[in-house]
Structure formats: structure tokens, C-alpha cells
Amino acid sequence: MERPIGHPPGRVWEALTRPELTAQWFPCEISAEPRAGEPVTFTFPGGEAPPMAGTVIEAEKPWVFAYTWGGDRFHWSVRPDRSLGDSRERARHSLLTLVHTFDDHYGAASFASGWHLCVDAMAQLLDGGPVRRGDDRDGALHEAYVAQFGLGAVTVEESGAGPALRFERQLVRPARMVWALLTEGRDPAVGETAPAAFTTGNGSTGKITEVRAPELLEYEVSQEGHVRWELTTGTGHGARLVLTVTETPGDDEAVAAAGAAWYPVIEDLAARCAATPQ
């Protein structure tokens, strides 16, 4: 992510490295000696979570500050904003770049929307405050990044019954709220017909073979084929939906048609989640 900041690199460096400043815009306070190999401590406000640890990877005042946090890597770089023509103006303005490296592909929209709001808060801090950090309660920013990154696409995997469709989608409401939307407040049971919200609406439904509220529902669509809905933890932004459809017709055109039928079902659920108040 890149963001022009109307302050010189030295001031931006302070916001990145001074604990009393990071606590005002970052998800937590960062405490570290900005030198490669030094430990980093991430302390959450009010003791809401235990401190976490990382390591400084690179530090070059005032240009680069990079570190690990859990399994993720964060590389912040600060440069004069060369889009400005006047050299004196360039010296008073910065281009801030964040490269966040992680292994959760479908969490990208959560991370991007979170950093978007954090950097907004950093700019407010450098401007003299007050800092009013946004919270994306309606999920609009998250969903905009889902669209920008193309995170709603289907993948096709091979199963014993032939090609299987797999959708993975980070949602913006917790599993209990998503489950209530899907079931309309009535918990289904094994042997019953799957509720309409778990289907494409074209008659491709069957008897429920497994159910565990509010985490899982699976139903049969043929002797060997099934549709499986799972709601897992995801990024903490909300539930992570994993939908698997097995025994999809084998030719490419039919697989594409099946994927196209399921895509609006998931997008409609995501939109209903965002429209449902916390």
C-alpha cells in the first residue's frame, strides 16, 4: 500500500517507531529498538490480549523499518514524495509504503481495510489530531477490497467424484449471525431438507447429512455428491466461509456454469452480512 503523507520522513519515522505514537494509530503499541535483530513487543490496550513478539528485520532511520509479527512480515519505507515538482515541497512531504507479507490469501481484504484505517489515523496524528480511528462497521471498505483483489472467485479441485467447486470468502459478521441469516433463526436437523439459503434455488438440494450449528451444514445432491458449508474463524474480522460442491459435471462449460450459479449466492450472503447491524 502507498500513501502520500504531508509531513517530512523524519516525522513519519517517529510515528512508526515511538511507542507512545504507535499506540494512537497502530492496532497496539510497538516497542522496539530500531536495529536489525532486536526484539519487538506488541502490547494491546487495556490488556485485552497478551503481548506478542517479533523481530526487527531492517531499520534505517528515517527510511526503512521492517519486522516480523507472528508469521507475518511488515516492511515500512518512507521516501520524499517525488510527485511534487518543487524540491522544497518534496522535502516536506513523504510517500509511505507498506508491504505486508502473509500466508492467508483470503484474509487480504481484512488486512488491507485494517491498514487503510490505521494509516488514516497516522495521518490524523501527524496533522495534530484528534485521532478518530475508523472501524468499518458496515464492512464497505472490506468489501471494496474483496472486489479489488478478486477474492470472490471459485477454484476447481479434483475429488473422487470428479471436479469439485470450492469458494472461500471472508465475511464481516461472526458465525452466529451468518448462521441466523442462513437458517432464518431455525436450526435445521439431519434428515431434513436443506434450507433454501444454502442452495442456488434451482432445485439442487437434498437431505441434510451433517449439521453443527453455527459451524457446518452438509447435504446430499446425489448418491455421491454433496454441498458442504463451513464457517470458521478466519481473520477475526468475521466468519470465514468455505463452500465445497462435489460431483460437479465434468466438462469445462458445465463446471463454469455451476460456479456461476453459486457465485451470486455467496455474494448475496456477504451483502446481507454487511447490511446486518452488529
Instruction: Quote the pLDDT of residue 18.
Output: 95
Q: Which domains does the chain have, with CATH numbers?
A: 2-126 (3.30.530.20), 152-275 (3.30.530.20)
pLDDT one-digit tens code per residue, 195-239 = 999 999 876 678 999 999 999 999 998 777 899 999 999 898 899
User: How confident is the model over 35-62, as a mean pLDDT?
Assistant: 92
Instruction: Quote the pLDDT of residue 160.
Output: 66
- Mean pLDDT for the chain? 91
pLDDT at residue 36 is higher than 90:
yes
User: How confident is the model over 179-204, as a mean pLDDT?
Assistant: 91
Instruction: Quote the pLDDT of residue 156.
Output: 86
Instruction: Quote the pLDDT of residue 143.
Output: 95
pLDDT at residue 87 is higher than 70:
no
Instruction: Quote the pLDDT of residue 24.
Output: 94
The pTM score is 0.90
DSSP secondary structure string, the chain? -EEEESS-HHHHHHHHH-HHHHHHHSSSEEEE-SSTT-EEEEE-GGGSS--EEEEEEEEETTTEEEEEETTEEEEEEEEE-TTSSSHHHHHH-EEEEEEEE-S-GGGHHHHHHHHHHHHHHHHHHHTT--------TT-HHHHHHHHHHTTT--EEEEETTEEEEEEEEE-SS-HHHHHHHHHTT----TTSBPPGGGS-SSS---BEEEEETTTEEEEESSSS-EEEEEEE-TTSSSPEEEEEE-S--SSHHHHHHHHHHHHHHHHHHHHHHHHS--
